[in-house]
A and B are shown apart, each in its own frame.
Chain A
Amino acid sequence: MSEVDTESEPVAAPRPRRGPASLVRKAAWLALLVVLLALPLYLDAAWLKAGQYMMIGAVGAIGLTLVVGQAGQLSLAHAFFLLAGGTAYTVLSGPIGDDRVVGFGLDPGLSLLGAVVVAALLGLAFAPVAGRLRGIYLGVASLALVFLGLYFGQSAEELTGGTSTGRAPAPFSLFGFPFTDDGPEITLLGVPIRQAERMWYLFLLLTVLAFVIARGAVRGRVGRSWRAVRDNEAAAAVMGVSVMRAKAGAFAVSSAYGGLAGAMTVLWFDILKPDESEFGTYGINVSIAYLAMVIIGGLGSVPGALVGALIVNGLPQVLALYSADLGWFSGTGDGALTPVLVSSFVYGAAIILVVLFEPGGLAALGRRLTRLRRQPPEEP
């Protein structure tokens, strides 16, 4: 956030488009939303579960694309903020008086907010480090947080439930309406709206909120100051952007997103179980998966992060479901192609292709395609 409002043309800011094109764009987003709202009426619980997992990825990836793509700070700590958010939600909403674990008995809705705030504060606490380091140095320093998280998960048993059993989070409810199979029986067009469907709508709401807020930040003054810091710190300072504050703000916002994704993760798993090694639900592999989403989608692009999450989090799930249905990739033993393996190949290949041929990721590809159609290609 800059103290002085600059009138200068921001660096690489998306030009706000007006006219019929923007109307069509709005209509397309709206249509997508309608489709997403209608899906629970058609998809089985397993597919809804896979969709929810993609939404968790989307929320986390939006947060990471802000800090890495917009503010230019490489962060490998995203999995740590997932763990922080998940733990915060579980502790805040946990029952009071459990002799094994700590709980505050707060309303789940409040606890979700609390999880976001706790993660943001942790991100702020890391800001002094993030502000002093750049590039790969920051990447390595932030990686330390994942190991800190591993240690914390194992040793703070009163909070996390420990690695051996974990602990169950309070089922989500909003203003007394439960997002489980209990409560009022609701049917929509003959489809009973039970836990899977209710959670779908909850996750969709959170994803839309995350998306809209991120778009607003990117297009507004905040985003401009982040990009200024990313492109040239000295120039940004001259223009009146407080470099330290911009960096800290970007890190805190990204952490808050991570925290929300973490709370969604424990709700999705119905359990908070800290990892037993550095690979797991909150491990290095998750940090890298989020980075992959952001790179594939295009650094700094919010819609790109959605597509990246769709590919990285969605592909293994979808392939696993299809392979169970159709018997694809059902080989066994050494050297067999399995859904998990195939999806690792696909997103590994996607990263290589993006880095080689389209550093701007799928977002740049999309922009290029729409531009191609608007104007004939120029002769070089």
Chain B
Amino acid sequence: MKRTHLAAALVAVLALSACSTKANNSGSPGSDSSGVKTGKGVTAAEVTLGVMTDKSGVFKNLGLGVTQGNELWAKDFNAAGGVCGRQVKLEEVDHGYKADTAKTLYPQIEPKVLGFVQLLGSPVVAALKQNLATDKAVAAPASWSSELLDNPYVMIVGTTYDLEMIDGLSYLQEQGLIKDGDTIGHVYIDGEYGKNGLRGSQFYAKKHSLTVKEVKITSTDSDLTNVVTGLKGAGVKAIALTTTPAQTGSAVAANKALGLNVPVLGNNPTFDPALLKSPAAGALDKLTVVASSVPFSADLPKAKDVAAKFKAAYKETPNGGVPYGYAVGEVWGAVLKKACDNKDLTRDGIAAALKQTTSASTDNLVAALDFSKPGTPATRQVYAATPDASAEGGVKYVKPLFEAPEAKEYVAPHQK
């Protein structure tokens, strides 16, 4: 240690105190010439929306698909004239599915954006819950738990895991695969996602006097053979899954290998087209997936349009995230236009416009959405689909949008 160190440190301190402190550069709220109120994330020419996604972690395939869907929507929206004479710009960051990284990136992106068109990952959404409320930023999480709806700034595009399960079980019953009084198994990941799915099957079971054999697993469990063996012993007539795609593969493979061969029902995140190339590919025929957004290959004009645009723009393998990402964009577009009509493009204006949005249409990419009742899922309709290697996106749907009568009666945890 030398005196030079001391000198250097002191110089550093002096140098620091000589530069100016951070300027107070929060965009001062104002109005433009046409009387539209603006605030954070809105300039005279642009409206900036945030994307906090996972491009490098466990959900990078989904994250990439949703982000590409968002980008396709922004391109179309701007080509159609944008909103209030402004173009939409996306500000994207990658948090790698790590809540701590997201928590640090949030203050960096928050002052630049009006709201978030994508927040991916339930740990991330949970960590940012408080921030969204404090900053009044409307966000669309790529997580469909109805537990999130206690936050008025959370906009879930599509239905929630509990309602997916209710609708799915009613579909199985309608097909004659299960009947009142049967025993069914439900394998779920202990957490936001799994517990929300379980709420749905428990509700349906009560209505139809089913016995639910609950099996709690963690997201890192890879082999479900023993779980399925146990369910076989319990004499289940169907298996419900609220799991990761890899676990779905293991469960359906065991279902076939053990000669159980009962129908398997999965929430929307349980299936990834990659399963069709996995060893479990031959056992996927028993699987039905329920989701509120369409598969990539859906036979709908809008879905075909999005698929064509995707192929023109990107080289990656598409998944269900693409039409979903586009649909979230469409909903944001509807909310932006409403806010523009109200002449209020501030965050408060967006939150108010969201509450007035009673029929956001996405041309059936997602069922029509009603955001006017806080705490209530915006739709209770789902598609049912089965894996199909010949279809692009890996699934074809077996039943178009429908809503089970049981789903109508269901009361979500934060429904008022």
Contact = CB atoms under 8 A, between A and B. Distances in A.
A271 B129 contact: yes
Interface residues of A, number: 64
A223 to B, nearest CB: 22
B286 interface: no
Interface string B186-220: 00011110111000000000000000000000111
Q: Of B2, B9, B190, B196, which is in contact with the most chain A CB atoms at under 10 Å from its CB?
A: B190
Given A31-B12, A49-B107, A341-B56, A320 B95 contact: yes
Contacts of A50: 104
B198 to A, nearest CB: 9
B64 A276 contact: no
A317 B101 contact: yes
A21 B1 contact: yes
Nearest to A41: B21
Contacts of A31: 6, 9-10, 12-13
B1 A277 contact: no
A281 B100 contact: yes
B71 to A, nearest CB: 12
Nearest to A330: B94
Nearest to B3: A24
Interface stretch (A71-79, A124-132, A162-170): A162-170
Contacts of B190: 154, 163, 276
B98 to A, nearest CB: 6
Consensus secondary structure, chain B interface: helix
B103 interface: yes
B60 interface: yes
A46 B107 contact: yes
A43 B16 CA distance: 11
A54 to B, nearest CB: 10
A165 B126 contact: yes
Interface in B1-32: 1-3, 5-6, 9-10, 12-13, 16-17, 19, 21-22, 24
Contacts of A257: none
Contacts of A278: 218, 220
26 contacts: A21-B1, A27-B9, A28-B5, A32-B9, A42-B16, A43-B22, A46-B104, A53-B100, A53-B104, A162-B195, A164-B145, A164-B147, A165-B192, A190-B21, A192-B24, A269-B127, A276-B219, A277-B219, A316-B101, A317-B104, A321-B105, A325-B108, A333-B55, A333-B64, A336-B56, A338-B56
Interface of B: 1-3, 5-6, 9-10, 12-13, 16-17, 19, 21-22, 24, 55-57, 60, 64, 93-96, 98-101, 103-109, 123, 126-127, 129-131, 134, 145, 147, 189-192, 194-196, 218-220, 316
Interface of A: 21, 24-25, 27-28, 31-32, 34-35, 38, 41-46, 48-50, 53, 150, 154, 162-166, 168, 181, 189-192, 196, 268-271, 273, 276-281, 316-317, 320-321, 323-325, 330-334, 336, 338-341, 370, 373
